[in-house]
Structure 1
Amino acid sequence: MDSSRLSIGAEQAQRQMTRRYLLGRTAGYLGAAAFASLGGRGARAALSSSPPAQGLGLGGLPHFPPTAKRVIYLFQSGGPSHVDLFDYHPRLRELHGTELPDSIRQGQRITGMTSGQSNFPVVAPMFKFARHGQVGTWVSELLPHTAKIVDELTIVKSLHTEAINHDPAITFINTGTQQLGKPSMGAWLSYGLGCETQNLPAYVVMVSKANRPNMQPLFARLWGSGFLPSSHQGVRFRAGKDPVLYLSNPPGVSPDRRRSMLDSLAALNEIQFQQSQDPETETRIQQYEMAYRMQTSVPELMDLSDESDQTFKLYGESARRPGTFAANCLLARRLAERGVRFIQLFHRDWDQHFRLPRDIAEQCRDTDQASAGLVMDLKERGLLDDTLVIWGGEFGRTIYSQGALTATDHGRDHHGRCFSAWMAGGGVRAGYEHGETDDYCYNIVRDPVHINDLNATILHTMGIDHERFTFPYQGLDQRLTGVEGARVEPRLLR
């Protein structure tokens, strides 16, 4: 766009500033102010609030010194079976094949996939467990690499959620509510704390590539910004030639020409902002500039040629293949080094309703070494102390078999009453197990942790009091941890 076209655009924008236009805009603002005076707290705040500048957080944050500067969330979509991975109870061998007592089920709401079953046979894990680390943590043989790092982990065995189906449950743990349209955790942290780098987004998402059929879909709203400014939504990086869609210049457009075009657009958008005071106009300017800077930073980030053979050995040889979970774990470390605030990896296909022994073993082969390798790599580089790593899904699996129970095969249905996840670094306790379930891995008997309690604790490591970190919307001071109440679990912290 040349200077003459910019001048014409500016003149057109200035001509809109007529007396009729100004009176119309003023009437709108007066109406909004009158509405606010009637008690609409959200409306009053909307008139006075302004989003933080690109890369900068809100004034007053963090509330107290953080123990973590960034989060890497290894989200295992589909509901990993806590029964077969972490929550070991020796008595399950004795109970195998018996009917799950009504006193344990307690009228639980279950999915339509097992609600029609006439019986609910208990099925013990078909894998061996052994104690590992200084504290003797029980870990399944499916996770030999994770077993080597248990002294770095806090394993929470008493997580619980009200959701029993995938999409509501994933939405719940990522946004603090089962309702659609609320900001994700990464968007909240980007909004509140900003980013340590100007060349990459504060919030990056990667989804593992896989060639398996019938995987649950993952919608972009899971890393969306909801009612927060749209600049805080997650930016998805893909494997391949163009990791970020529409980032590359079109054929025939040189970097100099792109720079000139962005300068012209910024000038026009600034004129529009002066007229409308719409914060999304400023967001548009910021995002254009971020995209321009990413044209240089993203190719350098994605180029793994400077990584040693020893590093690939640590994460696993599949880290050499773009789009795998292992490759994304390695990229997560590179993003952490470059100052990205929240990095979220989604790995699907943990929904093992049938053929669980075969399929869960395959999933663990995909994820175990890379997850443990990431923790060890961060520690070796001095990054683990201020990086919080989280591994877990949206719920667990039932102790009873879905469908027929055979000597070598079975499935498990969704289970939200209890499930397990682990955390490492970033101020959480090392070599610690929290919570306990009954002998059926079905109900929590000690130290329950709701998913909103988990999120409150994550915010605490980032120096944020979850009760004071709010945004006025629809008449409520909205929070990531919900308006019903949540608590920080101090025993998870150092």
Structure 2
Amino acid sequence: MDNFSPLQLSRRAFLARASSGVGLAALGSLLPGCLGRTDSLSMSPSTLPHHFPTAKRVIYLFQSGGPAQMELFDYKPLLKERENEDLPESVRMGQRLTGMTANQKAFPLKAAVHKFKQYGQSGAWVSDLLPHTAKIVDDLCFVKSLHTEAINHDPAMTFFQSGSQLSGRPSMGAWLSYGLGSDNKNLPAFCVLLSKGSGRVAAAQPLSSRLWGTGFLPSLHQGVQFRSGKEPVLYLTNPEGVSHHGRRRVLDYLKELNELYHSEVQDPEVKSRIAQYEMAYRMQTSVPEVMDVSGEPDEVYDLYGPESRIPGTYAANCLLARRLAERDVRFIQLYHQGWDHHNDLPDHIAKQCKDTDQASAALVTDLKRRGLLDDTLVIWGGEFGRTNYAQGDNSGTRYGRDHHPRCFSAWMAGGGVKPGISYGQTDEFGYNVVKDPVHVHDFQATILHLLGIDHESLIFKHQGRRFRLTDVHGTVVKGILA
């Protein structure tokens, strides 16, 4: 015992390891085909879903900045009837405001400039800003009663991605990598793609890599950012003068050293490091293959739009998301910046919609015709909504809208979600939820449920507390389940 290290195997870890083999075999026989994992070095305590999943993977189209719901999906004709009237205090009920509108003397109601129509058999209301989305409404589930606790961008995005407004918690993709692992041993379970919109690019809210970080989970589950350019994943290529064979020999020797160190200290992060080295080696072949879109036919580029030929654009990233989904990447996160419209909203939001509308609809259509939509959950939405009253100049088309956490909209498609419905309802002013509220934690719990996970059971013990994505909240929204 003289050589005992505080990092050596704990009683809890020993029991978990000893029992995992028997449990894995037993449950694997009950849920054939659900194991799916190929990453033998994963740190997850379980490789099984808690119930049969309807989705194998997620493509999350995160619209950073907060799209204005009443300009896109939540049609409110009353705003037109009462335009420029002050928002009644009985509706606002003293809601806290950001510093950008707290000093306004009035809160003049503002209707959307663009027209709405109903589409599809579902009769969903969609703005004429989104003609391509309008064509696929019968494949979509609109959630119009989302609400959040955060009123500013950084904590609101962090809340959606990690379940906490404070940084340091694992992101959703990291939780899924930890809980379910990967179905493709040559690509990360969690991939990230970024793009900037043509509306308000200069003022786009910054994105931090901690949004796709692992927090206190093993670093193996970190989201891997894919970039446009010659080096899609940084530091993946061999340095000049180092051959592929030479890199393999170095990794073999490094693995031996790390295994020796792990046998002494039993630090799980050492195993995570080994797995990352091995994944990086395999990615030297798999990443160039998935990023090479030269073999895509012209009709695919036509489907996604002309910008799909330009690396780094939202359209190009949507096409890459489909290619990653085809290769069974577990969680594909797209961030599109530029939705923070505090002024000149009609101009800026039109540009954002032009960037995203065709490609978002194309992704759903492309997945559907390839037979992938049934088990791929696609999500479109931002961190909060916008106010129904104008910020700043409310004349003409120069108006903006402030942040609004009380109600906003998103849509989901595929993966076991009920298509062709609108769930939840806001009041006639588009200010408060009046039917079927969906909190951020409810939304997260539902995503996990579709992937076969009981959100209360996917936990990680850290610093004496059992953490989970939904904290101590969240209820599965059964009304949107197919």
Question: TM-score normalized by structure 1?
Answer: 0.90
Other-structure match for 1:40: none
Q: 1:417 aligns with which of 397, 406, 421?
A: 406
Mapped partners of 2:134, 2:227: distance in 1: 30
Contact 1:175 1:183 survives alignment (8 Å): yes
Q: Which residue is equivalent to 1:216?
A: 205
Aligned to 2:348: 359
Could you say which residue in structure 2 is the equivalent of 1:62? 49
Deviation per CA, 1:56-88: give whole Å up to 9, x if none.
854362011100000000000000000100000
> Tell me, what secondary structure is at the counterpart of 1:25?
coil
Q: Which residue of the partner structure matches residue 285 of structure 2?
A: 296
Amino acid at match of 1:143: L
Partner of 2:366: 377
User: Counterpart of 1:191 in structure 2: which amino acid?
Assistant: Y
1:102 counterpart (67, 89, 92): 89
| 1:491 aligned residue (460, 479, 482) | 479
Match of 1:283 in 2: 272
Shift of 1:275: 0.8
Question: Separation in 2 of the partners of 1:176 and 1:45?
Answer: 26
Q: Structure 1: 5+ residue runs without aligned partners?
A: 1-21, 34-43
Secondary structure class of the residue paired with 1:134: coil
- CA change 1:387–1:356 in 2 (3 A) is same
Q: Distance in 1 between matches of 2:346 and 2:65?
A: 15
Alignment of 1:117 with 2:104, yes or no, is yes
Counterpart AA for 2:79: L
Q: Distance in 1 between matches of 2:197 and 2:406?
A: 29
Aligned partners of 2:426 and 2:434 also within 8 Å? yes
- How far apart are the structure 1 equivalents of 2:223 and 2:46? 22
- How far 1:407 sits from its partner (Å)? 1.7
SS of 1:151's equivalent in the other structure is helix
Q: How does 1:329-478 map to 2 (within 5 A)?
A: 329-478=318-467
Aligned pair 1:71/2:50, yes or no? no
Is the 1:428–1:493 contact (alpha carbons within 8 Å) kept by the matching residues of 2? yes
The answer as to whether partners of 2:385 and 2:405 remain within 8 angstroms in 1 is yes
Counterpart of 1:130 in 2: which secondary structure?
strand
Instruction: Check the 8 A contact 1:196/1:340 in 2, yes or no.
Output: yes
Task: Please name the residue that 1:38 is paired with.
Answer: none
- CA positional deviation for 1:387: 0.2
Q: Which residue of 1 aligns with 2:4?
A: 25
Cα 1:388–1:422 change in 2 (3 A) is same
Q: Is the 8 A contact 2:319 2:363 kept in 1?
A: yes
Instruction: Provide Cα deviations, 1:325-382, integer angstroms capped at 9, x if missing partner.
Output: 0000000000001110000000011000011000000000000000000000000000
Q: Alpha-carbon deviation of 1:53?
A: 3.6
Question: Partner of 2:113 in structure 1?
Answer: 126
Q: 1:89 aligns with which of 56, 60, 76?
A: 76
3-state DSSP class of the match of 1:353? Answer: coil
Q: Deviations over 1:239-265 (max 9, x none)?
A: 100000000011111111111111111
- Measured after TM superposition, the shift of residue 49 of structure 1 is 5.7
2:168 corresponding residue in structure 1: 181
Larger radius of gyration: 1
Q: In the alignment, is the contact (CA less than 8 A) between 1:181 and 1:221 conserved in 2? A: yes
Call closer, same or farther: CA 1:384–1:339 in 2, change over 3 Å.
same
Matched residue type, 1:25: F
- Structure 2 gaps of 5+ residues are 21-38
Correspondence for 1:36 = none
**Paired-residue identity, %:** 61
Residue 417 of structure 2 contacts residue 481 of structure 2 at CA under 8 Å; is this kept in 1? yes
The equivalent position to 2:299 in structure 1, one of 297, 302, 310, is 310
In the TM superposition, residue 25 of structure 1 has moved relative to its aligned partner by 3.1
Pick which of 309-318 and 201-210 moved more.
201-210
Residues 443-494 of structure 1 deviation map (CA, whole Å, 9 limit, x = unaligned): 00100000110010000000011111111123322110112x2100101100
Deviation at 1:408, TM superposition (A): 2.1
User: What is the alpha-carbon root mean square deviation over aligned residues?
Assistant: 1.7
Distance 1:240 1:29, change over 3 A: closer
Which residue, 203, 206, 229 being the options, matches 2:190?
203
Answer whether contact 2:197 2:351 (CA < 8 A) is retained: no
TM superposition shift of 1:105: 0.7
Kept in 2: contact 1:57–1:195 (CA 8 A): no
Residue among 251, 260, 285 paired with 1:271: 260
Q: Is 1:156 the counterpart of 2:150 in the alignment?
A: no
With normalisation by structure 2, the TM-score equals: 0.93
- The alpha-carbon deviation at position 216 of structure 1 amounts to 1.0
Residue 470 of structure 2 aligns to which amino acid in structure 1? T
Q: Using the alignment, how far apart are the partners of 1:60 and 1:233 within structure 2?
A: 18
Q: Distance in 2 between matches of 1:135 and 1:103?
A: 33
Partner Cα separation in structure 2 for residue 373 and residue 299 of structure 1? 23
Q: Deviations over 1:195-253 (max 9, x none)?
A: 00110000000101457212111111100111111100100001100000000011111
* Contact 1:269 1:281 (C-alpha < 8 Å) held by counterparts: yes
| Aligned equivalent of 2:221 | 232
SS at match of 1:289: helix
* SS of equivalent residue, structure 1 residue 305: coil
Q: Deviations over 1:268-287 (max 9, x none)?
A: 11111111111111111111
What is the match of residue 33 of structure 2? none
Shift in Å, 1:48: 6.0
Secondary structure at 2:281's aligned position in 1?
Answer: helix
Q: Aligned residue pairs: how many? A: 460
Q: Is the 8 A contact 2:16 2:45 kept in 1?
A: no
User: Within 2, Cα distance between the matches of 1:406 and 1:55?
Assistant: 57
SS of alignment partner, residue 157 of structure 1: strand
Q: Distance in 2 between matches of 1:71 and 1:426?
A: 8
- Residue 229 of structure 2 aligns with an amino acid whose one-letter code is G
CA shift for structure 1 position 418: 0.2
